[in-house]
Amino acid sequence: MGLLVLLLPLLVGCDSAAYADSDGTSPQTALSREGRFGSLRDFVLMERPSLVAEEGDRGPSYFFLDRFEVTRGDWLAFAATAAGEQVAASDAALSGDPALPVGRVDLRQARAFAHWRFARLPRLDEWLLATVGDRRNKFPFPWGRKEEAARANAAELGLGEPLLVGTLESGRRAEGQPYDLIGNVSEWTESVPWGWCVDDGTFDADFGNPTSGMAVGWLHQRAMRLPGLSVWQAPGGLLPLGCAVAVGGVSVPREVVGADFLTPMGRQTEWVLAGDRRVRTGLRLCTTPTELLRALLRTDYEPTDLDFEQLRRFVARGRHRDVLVAAWPSVAAASAPSSLARPLGRWLAQHLGPSSPAAGAR
């Protein structure tokens, strides 16, 4: 009871009846997060420093990050599909309230879910930008400088189990920004730890960095025995590091971010082997305007009326239309005519192409 009284001023809950646009304004009746278009409901637009602009994006560089961690309800819908069955998605932590974050997911399963939702996993730099801002912001947490137990479901809170996603309003940077970037469950990224790449003997098991025995040098030797990879060797008999990572598979760690309900909030990154499935590790989705449009055009999935309504609201929200219109020409030019002829391709061309209202206003 004492803990509940402490948290009451800071709780907001994941409101299923209404939500705000990405800029924190214009609450409206929410559609469900279910189905393949479900993440569009909660994607928040983030701006990168221009020096790391994505290929195909014009002007300032943008990416979308989900406002919430992937929930057990999100995952249950995926587990019932053929794509989910291929990665044994039903083995994840799925019991309890569907608004709890999913856990017990390995990297392969997380990637498969992200692909199903037309997105991907974030990189470490994208998560950091969303969590603490650009280099001008020196604060270590979304809310500021101090470790405040009631702002995140981390070890300091003492709850010892996940909360419904979006519970702690005071734990995010500002209204309209993502929830639970610190605490609740930790989240997969695609970033391989630099310390593992250089194999400099700085492994720290107490800090969660696994000593897997899969040294980079050994992986290079293994890769060199594969004819398809050995032809790419550089002078000195070395291969690009990406080849070694690919050969290592589930034994190569990734940066898992954000702490969790059992981890101190100051431990914001952790090394976890790609094949590990921990109850306290889940995921959050990310994509760029260019990547999202490419994924939508490449799919042979036929959207429902509800999917199109989700897409319509997503495009109309905040600055989304502007960044999507800017990305559209290069994506459309590189797409097969058959993709543009499908109902989804025709819809995107109508709303983002040269004759769209947004394009005419530019």
75-103 pLDDT tens trace: 999 999 999 999 999 999 999 999 999 99
| Residues 237, 254 contacting (CB under 8 angstroms) | no
- Assess if residue 241 is contained within a domain: yes
Among 270, 287, 304, the domain boundary falls at 287
**19 shares its domain with 88:** yes
**172 shares its domain with 270:** yes
Average pLDDT on 337-355 reads 94
pLDDT value of position 362: 40
**179 shares its domain with 209:** no
pLDDT value of position 197: 67
pLDDT value of position 231: 53
Among 237, 263, 287, the domain boundary falls at 287
- Assess if residue 7 is contained within a domain: yes
Average pLDDT on 264-277 reads 94
- Assess if residue 138 is contained within a domain: yes
Place of tokens 């990224």: 189
| Residues 186, 260 contacting (CB under 8 angstroms) | yes
**279 shares its domain with 149:** yes
The CATH code of the domain that includes 160 is: 3.90.1580.10
The residue ranking higher by pLDDT, 193 or 233, is 193
Give me the number of domains the chain comprises. Answer: 2
pLDDT value of position 22: 42
| Residues 65, 124 contacting (CB under 8 angstroms) | no
pLDDT value of position 276: 95
pLDDT tens for each residue of 118-144: 999 999 999 999 998 876 667 889 999
**153 shares its domain with 90:** yes
3-state helix/strand/coil string of the chain: CHHHHHHHHHECCCCCCEECCCCCCCCEECCCCCCCCHHHHHEEEEEECHHHCCCCCCCCEEEEEECCCCEHHHHHHHHCCHHHHHCCHHHCECCCCCCCECECCCHHHHHHHHHHCCCECCCHHHHHHHHHCCCCCCCCECCECCCCHHHCCCHHHCCCCCCCCCCEHHHCCCCCCCCCCCCCCEEECCCCCHHHHHCCCCCCHHHCCCCCCCCHHHHHHHHHCCHHHHCCCECCCECCHHHHHHHHHHHCEEEEECCCCCCCCCCCEEEEECCCCCCCEECCCEECHHHHHHHHHHCCCCCCHHHHHHHHHHHHCCCHHHHHHHHHHHHHHCCCHHHHHCHHHHHHHHHHCCCCHHHHHC
pLDDT value of position 235: 57
**283 shares its domain with 198:** no
pLDDT value of position 217: 58
Average pLDDT on 172-192 reads 95
**137 shares its domain with 270:** yes
Range of the domain at 162: 2-30+67-191+254-287
- Assess if residue 224 is contained within a domain: yes
Residue 152, pLDDT above cutoff 50: yes
Among 228, 253, 278, the domain boundary falls at 253
pLDDT value of position 137: 65
| Residues 146, 135 contacting (CB under 8 angstroms) | no
Distance, in Å, from the CA atom of 16 to the CA atom of 160, rounded to the nearest integer, reads 25
Residue 51, pLDDT above cutoff 80: no
Average pLDDT on 179-188 reads 98
Residue 228, pLDDT above cutoff 80: no
- Assess if residue 295 is contained within a domain: no
- Assess if residue 39 is contained within a domain: no
pLDDT value of position 48: 84
Place of tokens 């993440």: 39
CA atoms within a 13 Å half-sphere pointing along the CA-CB vector of 283 = 32
Distance, in Å, from the CA atom of 128 to the CA atom of 125, rounded to the nearest integer, reads 5
Q: Comparing 60-64, 111-115, 180-184, 336-340, which segment has the lowest mean pLDDT?
A: 60-64
**215 shares its domain with 109:** no
pLDDT value of position 350: 96
Q: How far is CA 31 from the centre of its chain?
A: 20
**248 shares its domain with 266:** no
Q: Comparing 41-50, 134-143, 276-285, 318-327, which segment has the lowest mean pLDDT?
A: 134-143
**114 shares its domain with 186:** yes
pLDDT value of position 324: 97
The residue ranking higher by pLDDT, 234 or 362, is 234
User: If 0-12 CB within 10 Å is exposed, 13-18 middle and 19+ buried, where does residue 167 land?
Assistant: buried
pLDDT value of position 195: 74
**234 shares its domain with 168:** no
Average pLDDT, the chain: 82
Residue 203, pLDDT above cutoff 50: no
- Assess if residue 279 is contained within a domain: yes
- Assess if residue 107 is contained within a domain: yes
Residue 55, pLDDT above cutoff 80: no
**271 shares its domain with 153:** yes
Distance, in Å, from the CA atom of 185 to the CA atom of 70, rounded to the nearest integer, reads 10
